[in-house]
Every structure is written in C-alpha cells, then in structure tokens.
Amino acid sequence: MRRTILFLLLGSVVVPTAAPAADNPSAPSAAKPDPAAKAAALKLANILYSEESQVRMAERMVDQEIGPAFRSNQSFMDLEAEYPGFIDALVQEFKPSLIRFTRRELPGYHDRVAELIASRLTAAEIEDLASFYKTPTGQKLVHGVQDNLASSSILKEAMDDPDKPASYGAIVSDHKAATEAATKLIDKADEPGLIALSQKPYFTRLAVLGPDMRKLEQDFMNEPAPEFEAEVEAIVKATLARFEGAKKR
C-alpha cells in the first residue's frame, strides 16, 4: 500500500486562482537552489501547509471521506454485517493513527515543496510571496482550498485498487474542485491584493508552479509507507479481534 489512501491531505495551492496553468508539469530543475531561497521557501511551506491545518484536514477527511469509503467497501460491509459497529470503531481507531502519520511526514513534504519553489524563485521573491499569503486575501485562498479540498477522485482509485498508484489526473481533478470553491470566497476587498500580485515580475514563473506541485504531490503519495501500512493493518486486526471476542462471550 502506498501513501495514497493514507496521506490525502496535502493540498494548498501555491498559485493564485487567477494564474494560468500549464497542462503538464515541467521537467524538474537539476540545479541546486540557493540556500537563502531554500530557507525562505521552507518558511513559505510552513505557511501553506501548517501542521495545524493539515491535522484539521486529516480529521475532516477521515470523518467525511475515508469513513464513508470504508462503509462502501464490500469487505468492510461484510464485516459490519457480522459485527455491527465494526466500521465506526475502525474509523475511530484510524483517525489518531493518520494524525500521527501526518505530523511525522509533514517536515519531509515541507522540504520537497521548498526545494521546488526555491528552484523557480529567488529568496526575495519567495519572501514577498510569503508576505502575500499572510494577508487576509492570501489566507482566504489558502484556507479556502484547504476547507474545500476533497479526495473523491484519488480515494476512488485507491479503494478500487489499493496497489495502483494515484494518477495525476485524479489529483488535478480534486484540486480543481477545491480551487473553484476557494475562488467563490474572493470579493472586491481582495481585488487590490490579487492585482498587485499579478503585476509582480515573478508572477509568470509562479503561474507554472501549479502542475509541478501536483506532480510533486503525486510522487509523494505513491511512495511506499511500510511502517504506517503495518500500523493500519494492526489496527484492523485488533479491532476485528475485539469484535470477535465480544461475540464469543
């Protein structure tokens, strides 16, 4: 099992909704980023993907998406028929495990995001972009995506075939829906900040980061997570053993 079904929550867009996006991610840069740019980009990554926001997304996705996906899975439905309450108990045990996994994996994701951003923008440009994302407009975009990001396309692929890698198309589809929802939050008060950002010299380079961020996310999701897989399997076995024992009494 890869990270796909386990780490569905990293999804804030770096690119403003007004920016054009390329159809396909570009080839990664072979050059090492400037250390100052990397340091600035790490700070930006922590703004875009704060631990608090990612834990909140993990909790929401378990309740609103992963839980219902378990309930629609035939194997779990069969167990639920034999042991009523099994799925609810499993979801309850799964949530803290996913939160621990999220906290453990987040620094590595921050580093990859920072590496990508620092390969495209200078330290000064990244600091300027970070300043934008600290403004009410920038925070509205970040939280608008996070609060509306769903994993329906990715999760469907994972439930249909847990060993199949997450597709780039599924990731793009889920992000598109979240971005559209975030766009509806923008009002006239946000226009000056967005116009100012669109006039920055680095805006064109920023605009093409979107597809590259999705590709980074796809690659990260599709890497093996053996320790967490073992933990999830242990949770399933322990939950089932508890219900089997209760039934025998």
245 to 103, 145, 235: CA distances (angstroms): 33, 44, 15
Q: Within 10 A of 2 (CB to CB), how many other CB atoms are there?
A: 19
Identify the residue with better confidence: 116 or 26: 116
Identify the residue with better confidence: 242 or 247: 242
The predicted pLDDT at position 9 comes to 41
The predicted pLDDT at position 152 comes to 73
Tens digit of each residue's pLDDT (9 = 90 or more) over 61-101 = 888 888 888 888 888 899 999 999 999 999 999 999 999 99
Strands (E), the chain: none
Q: How confident is the model at residue 249 (pLDDT cuts 50, 70, 90)?
A: confident
The predicted pLDDT at position 195 comes to 94
Tens digit of each residue's pLDDT (9 = 90 or more) over 80-89 = 999 999 999 9
Instruction: Find the mean pLDDT for residues 204-214.
Output: 88
CB 46 within 8 A of CB 110: yes
Identify the residue with better confidence: 173 or 110: 110
Share of residues in the chain with pLDDT > 70 (%): 87
The predicted pLDDT at position 8 comes to 42
The predicted pLDDT at position 2 comes to 45
Element (H, E) at 86: helix 86-118
Handedness of CA 147, 11, 112, 159 (dihedral sign): positive
Q: How confident is the model at residue 28 (pLDDT cuts 50, 70, 90)?
A: low
Q: Which residue has the tokens 């995001």?
A: 113
**What is the pTM (predicted TM-score) of this model?**
0.82
77 to 18, 68, 160, 243, 245: CA distances (angstroms): 43, 11, 15, 14, 19
Whether 234 shows a pLDDT value over 90: the answer reads yes
CA distance linking residue 9 with residue 98, whole number of Å:
10
| Residue 3 neighbours by CB under 8 Å, 6+ apart | 105, 220, 221, 222, 223, 224, 225, 228
